[in-house]
């Protein structure tokens, strides 16, 4: 976790996103500016660092990036993540500078699911699905 984080910048309204994918990115070449992300994922937020933050390697800083993919629940409500969320999924309302996001009932997509810390196992009491420690459904 980037302990030198100063703020979290959201580029979209996070109240409409049940979860975002929280990724630590070690190759940011700036402490403050927006981070570009390759591929189909959409950047919906990023962390900024204090001016005194040290680089991991010359010219590169560790920052968090928050992403949404085309098959995520916010984009396809009846898709693969109709309930549950990816292992890196966290409720954006729980994200704070220097603190990992948490997986909540909102992120799980089931109102009765227990709030779980990030990467926790569990069974959704509403739909009965069971997830292992990486949030992959088990039989």
The stretches in the chain having pLDDT less than 50 are 117-119, 133-139
Q: What is the pTM of this model?
A: 0.80
Q: For the segment 45-68, what is each residue's pLDDT rounded down to a tens digit?
A: 999 999 999 988 898 999 999 999
Rounded Cα distance, 67 and 23, in Å: 8
Instruction: Supply the pLDDT for residue 138.
Output: 43
Residue found under tokens 């630590």: 24
CB atoms within 10 A of CB 26: 12
**Residue 95 C-alpha from the chain's centroid:** 8
At residue 14, φ and ψ (nearest 5 deg) are: -75, -10
Instruction: Supply the pLDDT for residue 131.
Output: 58
- Give SS3 for 96: strand
């Amino acid at each position: 976790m980037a302990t030198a984080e100063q703020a979290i910048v959201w580029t979209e309204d996070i109240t409409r996103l049940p979860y975002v994918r929280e990724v630590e990115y070690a190759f940011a070449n700036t402490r403050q500016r927006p981070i570009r992300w390759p591929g189909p994922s959409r950047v919906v937020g990023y962390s900024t660092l204090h001016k005194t933050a040290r680089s991991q390697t010359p010219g590169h800083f560790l920052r968090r990036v928050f992403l949404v993919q085309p098959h995520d629940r916010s984009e396809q409500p009846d898709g693969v993540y109709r309930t549950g969320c990816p292992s890196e999924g966290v409720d954006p309302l729980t994200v704070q500078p220097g603190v990992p996001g948490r997986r909540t009932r909102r992120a799980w997509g089931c109102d009765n699911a227990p709030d779980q810390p990030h990467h926790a196992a569990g069974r959704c009491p509403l739909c009965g699905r069971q997830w292992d420690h990486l949030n992959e459904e088990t039989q």
